Amino acid sequence: MDESELRMDQRVRKSTRETLRESFVTGLAVVVPVLVTVIVLAIAFQYVYNYLTILARGSSTPAIW
């Protein structure tokens, strides 16, 4: 194996730790925005639900979560 092939092999091969780190970061990049979206939608749904409950009751006091 000549020197250029050796350098190419060293660049391509990653340690298990590097692979796990990249996978973890990629997973976070997917999961965190999904969780934030779900939380925002849940808060928005609760707000709309409370508002509609007030309208349906005809009450002037807001419903509490």
Tell me the pTM.
Answer: 0.59
The answer to whether position 64 is within a domain reads no
Residue 63 domain-assigned? no
pLDDT digits (tens, 9 = 90+) for 1-16: 556 665 655 556 788 9
Domain containing residue 50: 3-57
Residue 33 within any structural domain of the chain: yes
pLDDT digits (tens, 9 = 90+) for 14-62: 889 999 999 999 999 999 999 999 999 999 999 999 999 888 887 555 5
DSSP state of 10: H
Full 3-state SS string of 21-64 = HHHHHHHHHHHHHHHHHHHHHHHHHHHHHHHHHHHHHCCCCCCC
Q: Is residue 45 part of a domain?
A: yes
